[in-house]
Structures are given as C-alpha cells and as structure tokens.
Amino acid sequence: MNIVTFKSDFIKPVILGAIIFAALAFLPSLVDSYYMSLAISITSFAILATAWAMFSGPTRYISLATVVFFGIGAYTVAVLGEILPFPVVLICAALAGTVLALLVGFSTLRLAGVYFVIFTFGLTELVRQVVSWYEVNVTRELGRYIFLDITQDDIYWQLLTLLAVLLLTGFILGRSRLGFALRIIGEDETVAKHCGINVTRVKVALFVLSAVFMTLTGAIMAPRWTYIDPVIAFNPMLSFQVVIMALLGGPRRLLGPILGVIPLTLLFEVLTANFPNHFSIMLGVTFMVIVYLLPGGVIGLYEKYGGPNKPSHPNGPPTTKEKTA
C-alpha cells in the first residue's frame, strides 16, 4: 500500500462524515420536537451500540454492563449538576466512568466467555444496590432532582458531537496498532500473547474507551428526566436493547451498529404508537421475523448483495457464528 492511497482512504470518509454531521446539526430547525425526541433516541442508541461494538465486536466479549456506565453518567449529573458548570460535570462523568471501567476491567477481563457475560449482568445489580444503599443510609433521599435548563436541541447537539467523536475514534482505532492487536486477540488470544501483545492491557484500554462514551451518553441524557432514582438510572433493559441493536446491525464494522439502531428504534416507535397493549408480543414476533429473514445482520445483507466481496474496512466481516451466539 503506498502513501497516496492510504491518504485518500483516510481523508475521503472523514470529509464525507463531516459533511453528513454538519447537515444533521441543522435538524432542529427543520422538524418539531416529536421528531427531535426520535432523533435523540436514535443518536443516543447509536452512540451506545457503537461504543459497545467497539469493545465487544473485535474481542467478542458480550458485555451487559452498558447501563452501569450510562447510569453512572446520569448520577454524576444529578449529584454535581447544580454545583458545577455542565462541561465540568461532563468531565467528571467521564472520569467516574474511567475509574469504574478500570476497576471492572482489571478485575474481570481475565474471565472468558459466558463468565464475563454473567459478571457484567451482575454488575448492574451490584452498582444499583450500592447506590441505593448509599442513598438510603447516607443521604436519606432516594430520588434526585435534576433542574437544569438544557433544552432538547442542546441534548441533540451534544449527542451528535459525541457520536462524531466516537466514529472518528473508531475509524482511527481501526487503522491503529491497538485496533490490530485487538483483532488478533479476538481471533486467538494465545496467538496474540505469543506475538508479544499485552492482552489484558489492550482489552482494558478498549473497555475503558468504550465505557467513557457510554458514561457521557448517560450524563447528556439525564437532564431530560428531571428526576432519577436507582431503578430509573440502572434499568437492565437498556443493556439488552443495545446488544440486540448492535447484533442486528453487525458489530464488527464501524457503521454496523448504527444500521441496527435506526430500524429498531423506528420499530419500537411504531409498535409503541400502534400497539400500546401488545408491545411485548409484537416485539417478540418481529425479532423472530428478523432472525429468520436476516441471519447475517443488516451489514451482512449489504456485503452479500451490494458491497465489495472483500471488506474494505479492517475490522473484518461479521461472522454468522456471532449472530447465532
């Protein structure tokens, strides 16, 4: 590969992305607040699913801890929101997410496969109980109020910026030594060790990176709810939704998760609006139909019929094994 093609390979998508994001930034002046709330939903899930896939795609560690970081972010805003200016609160949230992810990462990323899944699921309950215990016994107030004058449009722009940063990070990562190391770990951890990769450190680094984005999403979303308590902030449904969306899209490509987020968010919207009494049943039926018609995820469809045979993106194609796992 010579320098010129590498450059154009790098610059073109970045410019294209910048144009798309610049255009999306004008959305609030075009649509009413209902569509804005839909756009916020899509953008926040896009961040969560992409951040999830950033770690779980290459390493194949299925994490159910998304909501832990999301909730920590929301709580940071609830605790500090009225004391510090919002940008400082966001920095604190990112720090809180980093510390927690480091703790969790170093203690658990040696676990493999199903043990990791179960641990991350248990972590949600653990953090929720710890926060509850603290609020009940120390502050003696279970709910917290968030009275911040942050409009829906502000939230949208913040999320959009975060998504742009995340995609850029993922894009650079895919071309970096760290990303390469990750893919080797995902293929075979023993081989990676023999190549001289510090397996644990690489995994923890990526886990932290992914967690920071999840934490920031929670922090940005929190002012929308006015009131949070541990049950609202640490709702395990969110973790599952993120996994389903990322898997539907295709977790091993940078843009894959977003392809899952958009149809599924619209689907949730249609089901909620039209079948208020049968939401869960309709959702189950739809998932069965999706799995039946789309075993390879949305991106699998693209690769099969529309895209180039060889993946141009170094994250590699999604495997059928992943979808059925």
Partner 1 sequence: MQISSRLRIATLAAATTALIGTALLGAQAQAQDTYRIGYAISKTGPGAPGANTSTIPNYEMWVKEVNDAGGLKVGDKMIPIEVVEYDDRSSSEEAVRAIERLINQDKVDFILSPWGTGLNLAVAPILDRAGYAHLAGTAVSDKAPQLSKRWKNSYWLLGTGSQYANELATFLDQLKSDGKINNKVAMIAVADGFGIELSNAGRKALEKHDFELVYDKTYPLGSQDLATIVNEIKSLGADTFVAFSYPPGTLGLTEQARVLNFNPKIFYAGVGTAFPLYKDRFGADAEGVVSLGGASETDPKIADYIKRHIAFAGREPDRWASIVNWASLQSLQQAIERAGSTDRDAINAELAKGGFDTILGSYKPGDQNFWQVGQWQDGKFVGIAPTSMDGAQALIFPKPDWKGAQ
Closer to partner 1 at the Cβ: 115 or 133?
Answer: 133
Which amino acid, 237?
Answer: M
Residue 242 is a binding residue for partner 1 (CB under 8 A)? no
Residue 153 is a binding residue for partner 1 (CB under 8 A)? no
Residue 30 is a binding residue for partner 1 (CB under 8 A)? no
Smallest separation (angstroms) from partner 1 to the CB of 137: 8
Residue 277 is a binding residue for partner 1 (CB under 8 A)? yes
Smallest separation (angstroms) from partner 1 to the CB of 136: 5
Residue 82 is a binding residue for partner 1 (CB under 8 A)? no
Out of 21, 41, 178, 313, the only residue in the binding site for partner 1 (CB under 8 A) is: 41
Question: Applying CB under 8 A, what is the total number of residues that bind partner 1?
Answer: 49
Out of 266, 285, 288, 325, the only residue in the binding site for partner 1 (CB under 8 A) is: 266
Residue 136 is a binding residue for partner 1 (CB under 8 A)? yes
Phi, then psi, of 312 in degrees rounded to 5: -85, -20
| Among the residue ranges 48-56, 114-122, 201-209, 272-280, the one whose residues contact partner 1 (CB under 8 A) | 272-280
| Among the residue ranges 13-21, 32-40, 162-170, 245-253, the one whose residues contact partner 1 (CB under 8 A) | 32-40
Residue 228 is a binding residue for partner 1 (CB under 8 A)? yes
Residues found near partner 1 in the complex (CB under 8 A): 32-38, 41, 129, 132-133, 135-137, 140-143, 145, 147, 221, 224-229, 231-232, 235, 237, 263, 266-267, 269-270, 272-274, 276-277, 279-280, 289, 293-294, 301, 304-305
